[in-house]
Amino acid sequence: MSEKLSFVNPTANSPWGTYLSQVDRVVPYLGPLARWVETLKRPKRALIVDVPIEMDDGTIAHFEGYRVQHNMSRGPGKGGVRFHPDVTLEEVMALSAWMTIKTAAVNLPYGGAKGGIRVDPKKLSLQELEKITRRYTSEIGIIIGPHTDIPAPDVNTNGQIMAWMMDTYSMNVGGTATGVVTGKPLHLGGSLGRVKATGRGVFVTGREAARRLGMDLRGARIAVQGFGNVGSVAAELFAEAGAKIVAVQDHTGTIVNTNGLDLSKLIPIANKEGVIAFKGGDVVPNEAFWDTACDILIPAALEGQITAERAQKTTAKLVLEGANGPTVSSADDILAERGVLVVPDVICNAGGVTVSYFEWVQDFSSFFWDEDEINVRLDRIMMNALNQIWDTADKHKITLRTATYAVACERILMARQERGLYP
Ligand code: NAD
């Protein structure tokens, strides 16, 4: 944050700053709705909570947690919870804002929210992880709920953590409230297809973008940064379509194999020990990941990874943003100038929130769909959204990112205008 804490003064190169400049770029395409644009530059509500827990060694540790509800003009807040040592309020603000844009871009009846705790969960025991999750849930319990704000998994959170969140909220309200979180295990009202949904959405939008570029996926070389839920599932689906995964990077390092990495062997090892424990590729310095010869680049780790310098050196012709906010604004311009097509995060990784929506709907109706139905509906929603965004980009001769913002912001601001300002 800048010296004077304020929503509108972002720290240089921060994710919130990136988001604000993305909103500025869309203003010329908003027509009369532009008078409402300031509403997108401020979160509706930001809660900071202290999360104290007793550690296994008997000491008391305090962690800082956040829940930000960026915009609820179109429906309840929706967005994941991140456990990571670098989490800050400003980061959570940006992530919540990208959820607002994303849910509107795919036309789900939600606003945008996000949460996080500044903690390295890899250093916690299972018991400590459960305590921190439950205390955090209880603290943010005053603003979340099935009809107000529905958390989900994000970096370092998973179905087990969602189960603890659901249980804690349920205990506090005195009933079983399955609809308070999505990404739950199947027997607790989770949905088939949720775990793979974000990676699948990256694949569906990437396949369509490749088709429009005239790029054959068979033999296409792909580099993936971040090999967790999103990166590994997307990589698997592209490999099934005939592509070669030539480079993978995670928090342990980078491996490269120009003949293609064997994912059936790599994934189980990466899940346990990290990618550099895999022997079927060469370990290279992390910076070498960005100039590995490839056709498609999939950032699926954290924000701010594609810097101006890395945008200059990538050989990719297509960037699929599995992660949220992986490209800084200056890099976006360089990629556009170099003719590299970017499918932006706010559409590319919207598969997860789309199946979260299906989960929420199934929980309310207590009627569950089979996986084929989930995947068919997911593909249809993603393709409809992408085609509409593409038409907008062609019409105004703008990037897919600005076109996505144009479509999404129009929906959000129209809802804002129709609701009017209270009081
Ligand atoms: P995850 O925790 O399953 O995986 C994160 C991956 O990133 C891991 O492989 C980790 O090793 C790697 N990583 C962490 N720090 C790194 C670093 N400094 N350099 C390189 N790699 C690093 O998380 P995920 O759910 O796959 O989320 C990844 C991204 O996708 C995030 O930006 C998240 O916000 C976004 N996203 C996730 C979902 C979802 O449904 N899970 C939905 C939309 C967007």
Contact 352 CB / ligand 1 (< 6 Å) = yes
Instruction: Give the atom of ligand 1 at the shortest distance from the alpha carbon of 153.
Output: 41
Contact 302 CB / ligand 1 (< 6 Å) = yes
109 and 250 together in one domain = no
pLDDT of residue 8: 79
Contact 248 CB / ligand 1 (< 6 Å) = no
Q: How many domains does the chain have?
A: 2
Instruction: Give the atom of ligand 1 at the shortest distance from the alpha carbon of 325.
Output: 32
The reply to whether 37 falls in a domain is: no
Calpha distance 351→146 (Å, rounded): 20
The amino acid that residue 420 corresponds to is G
Q: Whose CA is nearest to atom 5 of ligand 1?
A: 228
DSSP labels for 67-123?
EEEEE-SSSSEEEEEEEETT--HHHHHHHHHHHHHHHHHTT-S--EEEEEEE--GGG
pLDDT of residue 2: 45
298 and 343 together in one domain = yes
Please give the distance, rounded to the nearest whole angstrom, from the Cα atom of residue 395 to the centre of ligand 1: 34
170 and 200 together in one domain = no
Mark which of 323, 348, 373 sits at the end of a domain. 348
Please give the distance, rounded to the nearest whole angstrom, from the Cα atom of residue 413 to the centre of ligand 1: 30
77 and 214 together in one domain = no
CATH number of the structural domain spanning residue 267: 3.40.50.720
The reply to whether 56 falls in a domain is: yes
The reply to whether 11 falls in a domain is: no
127 and 226 together in one domain = no
Apex 170 CA angle, 166 and 172, nearest 5: 125
225 and 291 together in one domain = yes
Order the strands of the 60-71 sheet from edge to edge: 45-54, 60-71, 112-118, 77-84, 149-153
- 28-55 residues labelled b (16+ CB within 10 A) or e (exposed): ebbeebeebbebbeebbbbbebebebee
Instruction: Give the atom of ligand 1 at the shortest distance from the alpha carbon of 274.
Output: 11
Contact 154 CB / ligand 1 (< 6 Å) = yes
Taking the chain (423 residues) in runs of 10, the rounded mean pLDDT of each run is: 69 89 95 97 97 98 98 98 97 97 98 98 98 98 98 96 98 97 96 96 98 97 97 98 98 97 98 97 98 97 96 98 95 97 98 98 96 97 97 96 97 97 94
166 and 203 together in one domain = no
228 and 266 together in one domain = yes
Q: Whose CA is nearest to atom 28 of ligand 1?
A: 301
209 and 340 together in one domain = yes
Residues of the domain holding 164: 43-175
Q: Is 48 helix (H, G, I), strand (E, B) or coil?
A: strand
215 and 287 together in one domain = yes
Closest CA to 79 of 183, 1, 161, 9: 183
pLDDT of residue 3: 59
Calpha distance 366→204 (Å, rounded): 28
Mark which of 291, 322, 348 sits at the end of a domain. 348
The reply to whether 322 falls in a domain is: yes
Catalytic residue of the set 102, 114, 131, 196: 114
Mark which of 348, 372, 393 sits at the end of a domain. 348
CATH number of the structural domain spanning residue 128: 3.40.50.10860
pLDDT of residue 57: 98
Please give the distance, rounded to the nearest whole angstrom, from the Cα atom of residue 325 to the centre of ligand 1: 11
Please give the distance, rounded to the nearest whole angstrom, from the Cα atom of residue 263 to the centre of ligand 1: 18
169 and 296 together in one domain = no
Q: Whose CA is nearest to atom 19 of ligand 1?
A: 251
The reply to whether 380 falls in a domain is: no
Q: Is 375 helix (H, G, I), strand (E, B) or coil?
A: helix
User: Is-contact 343 399, C-beta < 8 A?
Assistant: no
Contact 305 CB / ligand 1 (< 6 Å) = no
The reply to whether 404 falls in a domain is: no
Contact 251 CB / ligand 1 (< 6 Å) = yes
Please give the distance, rounded to the nearest whole angstrom, from the Cα atom of residue 397 to the centre of ligand 1: 32
305 and 204 together in one domain = yes
The reply to whether 180 falls in a domain is: no
pLDDT of residue 1: 46
The reply to whether 116 falls in a domain is: yes
Per the annotation, the verdict on 397 as an active-site residue is: no
Contact 232 CB / ligand 1 (< 6 Å) = no
Calpha distance 114→150 (Å, rounded): 9
Contact 323 CB / ligand 1 (< 6 Å) = yes
